Amino acid sequence: MTDEAILDAVAAQARWMEALLADLVRAPTVLGAEDAGQAVMARAFADCGLEPVDVPLRADALRGAEGASPFSWDVVGKRNVVATWPADAEAEGARSLILNGHVDVVPPAAEHLWTRPPYGAVREGDWLYGRGAGDMKAGLAAMAGAVRALRGLGLPLGAPVQLQSVVEEECTGHGALQCLLDGHRADACVITEPHPDHLTVAQVGVLWFHVDVDGVPAHAARADRLGFNAIEAAGAVLEALRGLEAELNADPPPPYDAFAHPINLNPGIVAGGDWTSTVAASCTLSCRLACFPGESPDALAERVEATVARAAAEDPRLAGGRARVRYDGFRCEGCAVAEDEPLVRALGDAYERRHGERPALVATTATTDARHFVRAGIPAVCFGPRAERIHGVDERVSLSSMVETAQVLALFVRDWSGAIRPGSEGPARGKEEKDHHVVHGREPAGRG
Ligand SMILES: [Zn+2]
């Protein structure tokens, strides 16, 4: 099966992928509402001729699992959807593969700032707009389109390829973790996050923490003499946390020494007070902070607690536990995959045949589900369509890059998992004999 035949077959799926992407964007799959998107993905996998299977999230299993994050919300009824394209016959050199994407999206941030409706899937030229269009529903459409094209061509597989549409990537990664706990494994994994022109081989760890601050309520008319404002106290805590952030960025290890500011503290939500004319009695500051691969998120949590304790010690009104740190959501380590991993070389080869040059290998200052696979001994990288303004307003994705992503994935699936047929140079064996280029990344660029 020639490269050309594969590229053409994938290009012929462009409209199918675009329709799938639009259906996905119209499903507002924020935390707790993922299932509308999973229904779309189950239909899409079935339309690839595969049998979609639900992988429900199980709170008990997740709470005890290595790599799990704390969570306070109910996961009953949440499911991943997976579909396995089985091998036709086991072939020497063929390796199994997981293609993974997350269906959940972050909220629209501020709907009034959008110039197109966040769940409208408006198309303008090569761009499709919408929350999650880039992060990462176009990636889901690309991986399904690649498999649909290859199945249409009758590609014989020597090792299984599994498609995974998972939930909760944006808060815990427990969708991907549940798939692993349920035994869905492979020799490698590609996550089709919006990382174009490069393969992402390293990522930071992320900690979510919430600082609950107690104030003393009073009438606002006497706020100069009475009460203690929890919102203002939370501001002082945030200032102290900025000091910790500066310390964390002081001496980044490679490859993060190429970044000016790899570790970002983000106060993402502040919630406090209950009346405009009452001195605020309580405030919660919800933050995201990162750590480098090899560092423990538990150690980072200790530094956060020490920082909050120091800030509290500077104000007697915060004495006695009136500023407390709580954890809910991400508590995850960073990870990295070696640049000479067969996965990295083979996916880079496929990319080069489509684009005429090798992809850069980069590190990201965000986290992805890749860490769960890497922890389980499964090399995982991110590669996918070109998106702009993810987590921002007017998020959009390039439709041509979605098709190109599917083309690279299809070439890679043939090479990695295809069966060796008698009388032809089998893709898997050909790969082993090939004299690989040594790959060097250009300077990493932050994503996500
Ligand atoms: Zn994402």
Q: Checking DSSP bridges between strand 266-272 and strand 282-291, what pairing results, if any?
A: antiparallel
Quote the pLDDT of residue 91: 87
Quote the pLDDT of residue 420: 64
Question: How far, in Å, from the CA of 132 to the mean position of ligand 1?
Answer: 8
233: left (phi over 0), alpha (psi -120 to 50) or beta: alpha
Question: How far, in Å, from the CA of 54 to the mean position of ligand 1?
Answer: 21
Question: How far, in Å, from the CA of 418 to the mean position of ligand 1?
Answer: 28
Quote the pLDDT of residue 90: 82
Respond yes or no: is residue 187 known to be catalytic.
no
Q: Is the pTM of this model over 0.95?
A: no
Annotated active-site residue in 34, 104, 187, 369: 104
Quote the pLDDT of residue 440: 29
Q: Checking DSSP bridges between strand 198-203 and strand 360-364, what pairing results, if any?
A: parallel
| Cβ-contact 186, 160 below 8 angstroms | yes
Question: How far, in Å, from the CA of 50 to the mean position of ligand 1?
Answer: 25
Question: How far, in Å, from the CA of 135 to the mean position of ligand 1?
Answer: 4
The span from the CA of 448 to the CA of 442, in Å, is 18
Question: How far, in Å, from the CA of 139 to the mean position of ligand 1?
Answer: 9
Quote the pLDDT of residue 1: 87
Question: How far, in Å, from the CA of 231 to the mean position of ligand 1?
Answer: 32
Name all domains of the chain by residue range, CATH numbers in brackets. Answer: 3-203+335-433 (3.40.630.10), 205-332 (3.30.70.360)
Residue 62's contacts (CB-CB under 8 Å, 6 or more residues apart) are 68, 71, 75, 174, 177, 178, 181
Quote the pLDDT of residue 389: 98
Question: How far, in Å, from the CA of 191 to the mean position of ligand 1?
Answer: 9
The span from the CA of 260 to the CA of 59, in Å, is 39
Quote the pLDDT of residue 399: 98
Which residue type is seen at 318?
L
Respond yes or no: is residue 104 known to be catalytic.
yes
Question: How far, in Å, from the CA of 434 to the mean position of ligand 1?
Answer: 33
Question: How far, in Å, from the CA of 87 to the mean position of ligand 1?
Answer: 29
Quote the pLDDT of residue 446: 37
Query: If DSSP codes are grouped into helix, strand and coil, which group holds residue 301?
Result: helix
Annotated active-site residue in 18, 169, 187, 395: 169
> Burial code of 37-71, b = ≥16 C-beta within 10 A, e = fewer?
bbbbbbebbeebebebbebebbeeebeebebbbeb
pLDDT < 70: residue spans in the chain: 420-448
Residue 344's contacts (CB-CB under 8 Å, 6 or more residues apart) are 199, 201, 337, 338, 361, 379, 381, 439
